[in-house]
Every structure is written in structure tokens, then in C-alpha cells.
Amino acid sequence: MNIGVLALQGAFIEHEAVLRALGATVTQVRLAADLEPLDGLVIPGGESTTIGKLATNFGLMQPLRDFAQTRPTWGTCAGMIFLAKDIGIDRQPILSVMDITVNRNAFGRQIDSFEVDLPIKGLGALPFHAVFIRAPLATAAGPEVDVLARLETQQIVAARQGHLLATAFHPELTPDTRMHEYFLRLAR
Ligand code: GLN
């Protein structure tokens, strides 16, 4: 399995480490050509405005969009924002490939970051310790979207649409590798 991690900004090293530990070959993606051999792509958390700016400057927006339209792609946190069809802001470049409406910084500022044990569909009975850092959430999901996790407030924080996966939290920052294993199964 050759998994790419978009390596423009944000927590790409952490994703790379988990994926390697699970036996995947990992490619840091900075050029359109880096996408060609991949079985799947992870778009990490970070700052979605910065990732969008850099992807635009590197000529990566359309290649990333083409990739995510047909091939396994997982966005975490800022990556979830990047995948969404609608974030209620016109100025910020996003891929607009996944049928979710996402609210950026939905929980407030950096200081309002939190951790919660979250039951996630497809990961088994044990809840997943989810770390939310200035996280987004999905306020709506289209009919083709399978919601995998909601907070107690019912807000959507993990979802899948066919080959697309989105999580509002940071699974690469905890030792539990089940979310990465889930994506590798999806990419296989
Ligand atoms: N707040 C960031 C954004 O809007 C996302 C934070 C994160 O990825 N941890 O892009």
C-alpha cells in the first residue's frame, strides 16, 4: 500500500509515522506527480486557509480535486474542511468533493480544544479517544454520506462517503491506530 500524505503544512509527520507503523509505504505529497502512484491520500490537520493557499501556489488544487473525486482520500480536521462541499466561506480554496457542510472553528478558539471518548461506527465496541484542536464539525451531510460518529450534542464529527473519509479530530495524535487501519481497509 502506497499512501500519500499531503505535506504542505500541519500534522503530516504524525500521520506518516502511524501509517508506516501499520506497514504502509508513505509518500509526502507536494507535487501533482506525487499523486500518481498512490492507493490513497491523507490530508492532515493544520490550518485549512494555509493549506489552501499553498495548494493553490503549488498548482495542486485541480490535481487534488481530481484525485479525491475517484480515489480513497481521508481528511482530518483542516483536511475535513478541505474536502467539504460547503464551508460557508467563498474566499477560501477548498476541494468541494464531499457532500458535507462544515463549520470551521465550531467550538471556539484554541483554548476550547478538548478530548472525548467517542463511539465510532466500524471501529468496534471500544470508544476512540478523540482529540479536537480548534476543530470543525459537520452541520449537514448529504444522502450518500454515512455518518460514523456524533458528539452527544448530535454534531457530526466523522463521516464516510464511498471512498472519502472525514474526521474532525486528530487520530494521529493518540496511540490508537484503529482509524488509520480503517482508512487502509478503505484504500485496499
Ligand atoms: N482551525 C483549523 C482550520 O480552520 C483546523 C484545526 C486543525 O486542523 N486542528 O483550518
3-state helix, strand, coil split of the chain in percent (to 5) is: 30, 30, 40
User: Does the C-beta of 80 come closer than 6 Å to ligand 1?
Assistant: no
> Is residue 172 flagged as an active site residue?
yes
| pLDDT single digits (tens) 107-166 | 887 778 899 999 999 999 999 999 999 999 999 999 999 999 999 999 999 999 999 999
CA atoms of 74 and 89, how far apart (whole Å):
22
Catalytic residue among 15, 16, 172, 180: 172
In the three-class reduction of DSSP (H, G, I as helix; E, B as strand; rest coil), residue 15 is classed as helix
Residue type, 37: P
Domain residues of the chain, as ranges? 2-187
Find out if CATH 3.40.1390.10 is the number for domain 2-187: no
Q: Which atom number of ligand 1 is nearest to the Cα of residue 77? A: 8
| pLDDT single digits (tens) 57-67 | 999 999 999 99
